[in-house]
Structure formats: C-alpha cells, structure tokens
C-alpha cells in the first residue's frame, strides 16, 4: 500500500484530504480542528516512510491559491482597517514578535542550544518558512565554508521539530481563551457591521409617520444625523404609492417600508411614529421587487453611486446578499460578481434592470481565467523579487507574501478598465478551500517523516517542549493584551494571531470558530508586517547568539 501511495502522489493527496477533512468536523467538548486536521493527517501518513510525501508544487500551488483568494475578498476591508486601527494592530504584532525573540533567547540559555538550532526553532515556533530561509542565508554569509554543511542542517532540524507545535499551540491557545472568556462571536459581528461581517438578519416593516416636527429634513439628513443604518423603500401618501429617494421629506400620515435589523427598525419607528399592521408591500400592481444575480462584468467592481440606479431606472436596492449574509446597500458599496441584489422598481422597468445586472447564475459560476491567472502571476513575481536589507541580506516575500499583497491591492481596486479582478463569491470560497487543503496536505506529508525522526533523536523532546512554551506563551500574551487591554474584538484578533503566525491552518480554524469573515481581515492586515518582521527577527537572533 505504501508503495502505491509513493508512486501515485495524487492518490496520496486526495487520501489525506478525504481522511482529514471529515476528521476535522468531529467535535470534542464543543471544539473541532476544522480543516487544520488535514495537516495532522498529513503528518501521520508522511511519518510512515521518507518518500511518502507530496511534490513541493502541491503545497506551493495551494498556498498561492489560498492567500490570493483571501487577499481579493479582504482588500476593501483591509484598506478600511488601515485607516482605523491598522497602525495599532501592526505595532502589537511587532511587539509580540520581539517578545517571542526574548523568550527564545531565554530558552537558548536554559537548554544551551546552538545559535543555528535556536534560529530554526524560532522559525518553526512561528511557522514561517521565509524566516528559515533568511536564517540559512545569514549562516552562509557568516560561517566558514568548512563548517557550513553541518550548520546549515541545524536550523532545518529545529524548524521541523517545532513547526507542528507552532500550529497546535496556537489552536489550543485560541480554544482555551474563547472558552475562558466566553466569547460571543455573533454579538461581535453585530457590533462590527461596518466591516461587512455581520450575519444578523435583515427585516422589513411598515412604519406610520405621526411625527410632524422634523424641521423638513430629508431622509438622507435624518439618517445621517440620527445614525440610522436602514433603507427606505415604498411610501404610501394618501392613495399614491411611490419610491423613496434620499431627498424625500416624510410627512405626517405617510406609510413607509423600512429595511434593517430589529434594533435599528425599533429606533426608526420610535422616532417617526410607530409600527403599522398595514403592509403596503403586498400591493405589487405598480411597483415590484425581485432578487437579481449580479453577473454583468460591467456592473461588478463599481460602487452603487456610480451605477446611479435611481436616475437610470427609477429603481432602489434594498438588500445585497453575498454568500449567506444580507447587507444594507450604501453609496460606496462595491458590487461583486455573484451578489444577489433585491431591487424595487416600477414593473415597467423591472426587465431592463434584470438585463442591466445580468441575472445569469451560469455566468457567475465561471471564473475569468485571464484576470485570475494574471493577478496570481503578478503576485508570484513580486514574491521572488529580492528586496535589499541592511547587512547585505536580501528579503523575498515568497509564495505567500507576494500573492497576498497583490491580491489586497487588486481587491481594493476592484477593476481596471474592463478587467474585473474580483471573483464570484462561490468561486472564491471554492478555490480558497481547495488551496488550503492542498497546502496543509503538502506541508504535512513533507514534514511528517523528518518530524518523527528528528523528534526521536537526543534533545528532540526538549526542543519540542521549548517550542510549545514559546508558541503558547506568545499566543496567549497576544490574545490577552489585544482583547483585554486594547479591546480588539476576538473575531479580528484571532485572525491577527493567525497572521502573526503567517499560518493558514490557524486562519482556517479561526474562520470555523467565528462563522464570519472577520478573521480574514485581521489576518490580511498584519500578515505582510509579520512576514518581514520574522525575517528580520531571525537575523537578529543569529547576530545576538553567534
């Protein structure tokens, strides 16, 4: 059987995925490993034979697909987060990396480890292959040729022993604190609706306007001054029914349909008058509403303000459904291929509106291979470009950093002329999942045998334990400082911890726990700084210890 798997790497890949994926769904005391279980199955199978491993291209392809799709979907939110608390979040990560360096030096002194082995241990604890490559490059420039071969092997040994615990330790830390602090991820998502992560249901109701002291303010002025996050739809004034606009001024006696969350609807109803049992939305003889797929590339990547639906068709968007979540539309919202928009329009214009948006499910199931491949190729190109650093060292962003940075830029831009960079939501999620499984299976099988063999050698247990201490203490300290002192929501923070580890497996676990996309935003916001920081940190370690 082992011979068959060795000779058929594709069979090995899908066997690891087939065992690991359902295993990750098994819950123990309410928690599960999620997709990260694929990594551990890969380690177990890879440990059976030195040749039982997937080709390097498998995990490189998976890593590129995963980080590129994460970057595309997180781009706009990432840009928004930088304008808010991005500097604070990245300073936290830099501070915790320095803290990890300090812990590593203490461990090195206690266990009397070689500097080269310590550098590999640090890279493994923080699961960062570019940091390991930086350590090897630094050793090449500082060690005499006669001792070079042996010293180049030592960081790899330290890395292979501590890499698995770099994943397990963080997953355990997140699991412990979310139980200890009784984190309510759903409530956090509700508070952070500006990030587009809330899955709180949207409702509509009819409100009777009885208040007549509004100072002739328009709907737009009322919403801005009272911070209403709702959409106004049809208005019945006497026997006439018409669509609201931002410039509409409500009058006493009006009946208006409003869309929003329960809490927001209660606030609007309390101010304007009260809820009415009359449902003017049931009359569809003049104005109708319909769910329409966004499949027209000319619409995707543009803001609702640019589309100017009110003037073109006299139509109003009342909801945008992306994946399983409904969002209230606003002028700066950028539509994506695969979105489903709820349109309210005169019946004579409904067909024209459908044609404008495309409304083709088949079209949004396809991927624009040209823009997808071009964007990913640009990311890989950026990853191999050498960046000169002080001390004659060159930095490369690698197969993860390059595609992520390019994807964040393209995801924020949305489109360039006729080229739409974003992916349909369903296609993005599918490619992301496939990429993550490929990465975890590839890394697991390739590290499995060396992990077991180096672990069983003298000192392997001590190095493994030391790595667990560094990983767990650093992760717990980051979670405590970030959540308790800096008040960062846990949904974002566990994504930041995954980004600090530069570890897709931890991000996959974080997404499983929260049930929303906030961890993606935290991950993307600190990943570039964390990657560069760890590359420089491992060089600092070698300079201090050699």
Q: At what angle do helices 425-456 and 460-480 cross, to 10 degrees?
A: 140
**pLDDT for residue 375:** 93
pTM for this one?
0.67
d(CA 232, CA 220): 10
d(CA 225, CA 223): 6
Mean of pLDDT values over 530-542: 80
**pLDDT for residue 147:** 57
Task: Work out the angle at residue 429's Cα, subtended by the Cα atoms of residues 43 and 368, and round it to the nearest 5 degrees.
Answer: 120
d(CA 119, CA 542): 7
List domains and CATH numbers for the chain: 196-364 (3.30.70.1450)
Mean pLDDT of the chain: 81
Mean of pLDDT values over 151-178: 81
Quick one: 467 exposed, middle or buried, by C-beta within 10 A (0-12, 13-18, 19+)? Answer: buried
The CB density around residue 57, as the number of other CB atoms within 10 Å, is 11
| Helix (H) or strand (E) run with residue 57 in it | helix 56-84
Runs of H (alpha helix) within 197-326: 219-226, 262-272, 304-307, 309-313
Residues 421, 414 contacting (CB under 8 angstroms)? yes
d(CA 399, CA 397): 7
pLDDT above 60: residue 455: yes
Q: Phi and psi of 381, rounded to 5°?
A: -65, -45
**Structure confidence by residue, pLDDT tens digits, 195-246:** 444 456 778 888 888 877 655 788 888 888 888 888 888 888 887 888 888 8
Between these two residues, 279 and 219, which has the higher pLDDT value? 219
Which of 469, 497, 472 lies closest to 482, judged by CA? 497
Runs of H (alpha helix) within 112-218: 115-125, 129-142, 148-180, 185-191
**pLDDT for residue 5:** 87
């Amino acid at each position: 059987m082992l011979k068959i798997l060795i000779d058929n790497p594709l069979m090995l890949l899908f066997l690891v995925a087939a065992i690991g994926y359902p295993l990750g769904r098994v819950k123990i005391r309410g928690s599960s490993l999620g997709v990260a279980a694929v990594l551990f199955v890969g380690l177990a199978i890879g440990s059976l034979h030195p040749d039982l491993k997937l080709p390097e291209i498998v995990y490189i392809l998976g890593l590129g697909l995963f980080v590129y799709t994460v970057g595309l979907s997180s781009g706009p939110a990432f840009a928004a987060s930088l304008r808010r608390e991005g500097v604070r979040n990245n300073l936290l990560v830099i501070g915790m990396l320095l803290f990890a360096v300090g812990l590593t030096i203490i461990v090195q002194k206690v266990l009397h480890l070689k500097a080269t082995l310590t550098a590999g241990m640090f890279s493994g604890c923080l699961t960062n292959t570019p940091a390991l490559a930086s350590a090897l490059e630094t050793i090449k420039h500082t060690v005499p040729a006669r001792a070079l071969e042996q010293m180049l092997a030592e960081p790899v040994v330290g890395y292979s022993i501590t890499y698995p615990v770099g994943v397990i330790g963080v997953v355990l830390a997140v699991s412990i604190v979310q139980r200890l602090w009784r984190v309510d991820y759903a409530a956090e998502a509700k508070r952070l609706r500006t990030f587009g992560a809330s899955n709180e249901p949207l409702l509509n109701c009819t409100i009777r306007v009885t208040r007549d002291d509004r100072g002739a303010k328009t709907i737009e002025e009322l919403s801005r001054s009272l911070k209403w996050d709702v959409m106004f739809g049809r208005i019945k004034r006497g026997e006439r029914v018409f669509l609201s606009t931002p410039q509409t001024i409500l009058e006493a006696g009006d009946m208006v349909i409003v869309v929003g969350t329960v809490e927001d609807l209660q606030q609007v109803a309390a101010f304007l008058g009260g809820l009415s049992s009359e449902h003017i939305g049931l009359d569809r003889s003049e104005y109708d509403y319909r769910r329409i797929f966004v499949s027209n590339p000319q619409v995707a990547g543009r803001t609702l303000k640019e589309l100017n639906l009110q003037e073109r068709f006299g139509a109003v968007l009342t909801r945008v459904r992306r994946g399983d979540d409904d969002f209230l539309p606003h002028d700066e919202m950028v539509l994506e291929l695969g979105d489903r928009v709820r349109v309210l329009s005169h019946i004579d214009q409904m067909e024209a509106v459908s044609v404008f948006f495309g409304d083709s499910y088949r079209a949004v199931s396809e991927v624009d291979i040209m823009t997808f491949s071009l964007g990913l190729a640009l990311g890989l190109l950026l990853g191999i470009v050498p960046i000169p650093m002080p001390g004659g060292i060159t930095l490369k962003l690698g197969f993860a950093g390059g595609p992520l940075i390019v994807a964040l830029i393209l995801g924020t831009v949305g489109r360039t002329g006729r080229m739409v960079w974003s992916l349909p939501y369903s296609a993005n999620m599918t490619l992301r999942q496939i990429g993550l499984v490929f990465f975890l299976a590839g890394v697991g099988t390739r590290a499995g045998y060396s992990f077991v063999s180096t672990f069983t050698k003298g000192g392997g247990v001590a190095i493994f334990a030391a790595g667990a201490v560094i990983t767990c203490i650093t992760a717990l300290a980051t979670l405590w400082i970030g959540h308790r002192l800096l008040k960062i929501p846990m949904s974002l923070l566990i994504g930041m911890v995954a980004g600090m580890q530069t570890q897709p497996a931890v991000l996959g676990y974080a997404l499983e726990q929260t049930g929303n996309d906030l961890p993606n935003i935290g991950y993307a916001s600190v990943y570039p700084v964390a990657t560069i920081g760890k590359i420089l940190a491992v060089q600092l370690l070698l300079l201090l210890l050699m």
